[in-house]
Amino acid sequence: MQEIWKSTTKRDYDERMNCCPLCSSGDIGPYDHDFHGAMIEKCAGCGMKFMNPQHSDDYLRDLYGGYTELPSELADISSPKHDWRHSVHAYYLSLVENYTLRGRLLSVGSGDGVEIDAAQRQGWEVEAYEFDPSLCAFLADSLKVHTWAGNFPDITCESDHFDCVYLHHVLEHPKRPQDFIRTIHRILRPGGVLFVACPNIESPAARWKTLLGKSGLKKRRGRHYDTWHHLFYYSPNVLKRLLEERFDFDVVHIRNGLGEQMRGHSESSLRHAMAWDGIMPVWKSVFVLIAKKR
Express each pLDDT in 214-267 by its tens digit: 999 999 999 999 999 999 999 999 999 999 999 999 999 999 998 766 676 666
Instruction: Please report, for the chain, the start and end positions of each structural domain, with discontinuous segments joined by +.
Output: 79-200+235-293
Superfamily of chain region 79-200+235-293: Vaccinia Virus protein VP39 (3.40.50.150)
What's the confidence (pLDDT) of residue 73?
A: 61
Summarised one tens digit per residue, pLDDT across range 53-76 is 999 999 998 888 878 877 666 557
Q: Report the alpha-carbon distance of residue 210 to residue 216 in Å, rounded.
A: 10
Instruction: Tell me the pTM.
Output: 0.93
Backbone angles phi, psi at 33, to 5 degrees: -145, 160
Buried-state track 198-217, b at ≥16 Cβ within 10 A, e below 16: bbbbbbeebeebbeebeeee
pLDDT greater than 90 at residue 270:
no
The reported pLDDT for the residue numbered 6 is 47
CA angle 252, 254, 255 (to 5 degrees): 145
Q: Given strand 286-293, what is the order of strands in its sheet?
A: 146-148, 125-129, 104-108, 162-168, 188-199, 286-293, 249-256
Percent of the chain, pLDDT > 70? 92
What's residue 116's pLDDT?
96
Nearest to 246 by CA among 198, 192, 177: 177
Report the alpha-carbon distance of residue 32 to residue 222 in Å, rounded: 8
114 membership: H or E segment, kind and range: helix 114-121
